[in-house]
Structure 1
Amino acid sequence: MSTRKISLDITILAGAVSVFIGCTGPPNNQDERSDSRQSREVPILAKQLEEKAATSAARIPEDVRQTYAQGIETVRATGIEKSAKQVGDAAIDAELLGWDGKRVKLSELWQEGPIVLMWYRGGWCPYCNIQLRAMQQSMDKLEHAGARLVVLTPELPEKAKETAEANDLDIVALHDKDNTVAQKYGLVFKLPEAIIPAYRDRLKLPEYNGNDVMELPLAATYVIDKSGKIIYAFLDADYKKRAEPIDVIKAVEASAQE
C-alpha cells in the first residue's frame, strides 16, 4: 500500500469518527467540551478540603473530633441554613472598609455586573485559607465570566492583610465589623459551648475579631446579579464544606445569559 493511500485512509477514518461523535453526542457538544476543559482547569476545591479534613482527623483525638462534629450538628439544628438569605431574595447593601483602606459599597459593584459575595471566618481557619487560594486561582475565569469577587470577613483589617500575604492573595478582604453584614444575611451563629474554649484560647478568636463575642458567620457564598437579587447561594453548617469555584462560575455564566 502506498504512503499516499495510507494517509488518505487515515484522513477518511478521522472524518468518520468526527461525524459519528457529532451525530451521537449532545446538541451542544462544543459547549460540553468547553465545560469539560473548564472543569479540569478550575481547582477541585472539595478534594482539597477532604484531604485537609482527613489529615486533621488523623492527628486529632477521637473525643475532640466528636466534640467538633457535635458542634456542627448543633449549629445545623438551629435551622440557619434555611433561615439565611436564599436564592431569589434581595441582597443586603452595605459599605465596608478593605484592609487597603479603601471603602467599597456593594450595590455600586453589583450595578456594574454580578458579584460573588463570599465570607471567610478568619486566617486561623485552614479551610478558609484553602478556599481563598482556590478562588484566587479561579479569578481569571470568574472575571472572564463577567463577575467580581467580593470577600468579607469578621477578622480585623490587619489580620486580613496577614491572611492575604500568607496565602499569596491579590484579594482584598472587606472588614465585616462585628459580623454586622453577616447578621443581616442571617449567617451568624453562636459557637456551641463545648467548642468555645478551643476557639477562644487556642485559635485566639478575640484577637482576630477584636471582640469577645463568640460568634462566627457561615462560610457562605452568594452570587448577586445586576438587579441586586441572589441567584446562587451556598450555605452549609459544616465549615469543612465550601462552594466549588466551577459551580460559582456556572452561576455567573447563567446570569449573563438571562
Structure 2
Amino acid sequence: MNVIRCKPNPQTSKRRKDMNTRTIPFAFTIFVVVVSGCSESASPEGEHSDTTQTEETPMLSEQLEEKAAASVTRIPADVRQTYAEAVETVRGTGIEKSAKQVGDAAIDAELSGWDGSSVKLSELWQEGPIVLMWYRGGWCPYCNIQLRAMQQSMDKIEDAGAKLVVLTPELPEKAKETADTNDLDIVALHDKGSAVAKDYGLVFQLPEPIIPAYRDKLKLPEYNGDDAMELPLAATYVIDQSGKITYAFLDADYKKRAEPADVIEAVKAAVQ
C-alpha cells in the first residue's frame, strides 16, 4: 500500500518544471503528521551528523538558519526576545526527554488525509520502516522549508526502504492548501486535536506571552479548528518493522528540524 504520494496534476507538474529552471532559495517538505518546536540541541539519538549535500540541495539546517537570519531585519528585537524566551520555557518543561525516545514502542493510530484516504500506521511499518514527521502548520515558514526539503529527499528515503508519513494538527483543507502552495506531492494526515502527538508526548502549551500572536495574528484556531493554544514539537521519528523507534529528533526550538541526510542514514540502519 502506497499512501505517500498524491497524483500530480498538469498545472503542478508545470510549476515544478518551471521551478527547476531557477535557483530555489528555500526547500520545504511534507507527508503528514505534525508536531512542532524542538530544543536547541537534539537528543543523543537525534544529533546532526556531518553529512553534506550537493550545492544544488543545501542542507536543511543552512536553509533554516538563512530564514532565521532574515527575520532579524524585519522582526523587532523585543519580539524576537519574547519568542526566544518562549522556546526556553518549553524546553524547561522537559518535553524533549519525556516524549517518546529511541527504543520506545511506537504508538499506533488510524488517520486520514485531505484526499479522503485512511491510513493505519502499524500496517505501514509492518511493510517496512516509516519516517514519522510532524509539522505545525502551513502558517509556519520553517515547517514549509522542512516539508519542501523532505520532498526533495523523497526518492532517497524510499530507495532506502522507508515511507514518509507526515502528520499535522491543521485541518485537512488547510493541509491541502499547504501542499498546493508548496507544490507538494505528499498528502498530510490530520492529527485532530494533536491526539497522536499527545500519545507521543510531543504537545506543549504555548507560553502566555506568545499566545496573542498565535491566536490573533497567525490565526491558529482557524487552522486547527479549535481554540486550544497548544502545538506539537516538530518531531521526526524512524520506526522499524517491529514497531520500535530507532531514531528520534526532538527539539523545543521550532527553527531546528531533522536533517534529511540524517533521517536517510537512520532508515538504512533500520532495515539492516
Same fold (TM over 0.5): yes
What is the one-letter code of the residue matched to 1:191?
Answer: L
| 1-structure distance, mates of 2:127, 2:56 | 27
CA distances 1:107-143 after superposition (whole Å, capped 9, x unpaired)? 0000000000000000000000000000000000000
> Which ranges in structure 1 are unaligned for 5 or more consecutive residues?
1-34
| 1-structure distance, mates of 2:94, 2:51 | 36
Cα 1:89/1:101, change in 2 over 3 Å? same
- Does residue 130 in structure 1 map to residue 149 in structure 2? no
- Does residue 77 in structure 1 map to residue 76 in structure 2? no
| 2-structure distance, mates of 1:222, 1:87 | 9
What is the one-letter code of the residue matched to 2:256?
Answer: K
In structure 2, the partner of 1:5 is none
Shift of residue 81, structure 1, vs aligned partner = 0.2
Shift of residue 39, structure 1, vs aligned partner = 6.2
Q: Secondary structure at the match of 2:73?
A: helix
In structure 2, the partner of 1:115 is 130
In structure 2, the partner of 1:174 is 189
CA distances 1:39-94 after superposition (whole Å, capped 9, x unpaired)? 66754100000000000122100100000000000000000000000000000000
In structure 2, the partner of 1:105 is 120
Q: How does 1:75-224 map to 2 (within 5 A)?
A: 75-224=90-239
Cα 1:64/1:111, change in 2 over 3 Å? same
| 1-structure distance, mates of 2:146, 2:232 | 15
Aligned length: 223
Structure with higher RCO (Cα < 8 A, 6+ apart): 2
User: Of Structure 1 and Structure 2, which has the larger fraction of its residues in helix?
Assistant: 1
Are the aligned partners of 2:52 and 2:59 in contact in 1 as well (CA < 8 Å)? no
| 1-structure distance, mates of 2:52, 2:92 | 39
Larger Rg: 1
RMSD, matched Cα: 1.4
| 1-structure distance, mates of 2:268, 2:55 | 17
Cα 1:36/1:155, change in 2 over 3 Å? closer
Shift of residue 176, structure 1, vs aligned partner = 0.2
| 1-structure distance, mates of 2:58, 2:125 | 25
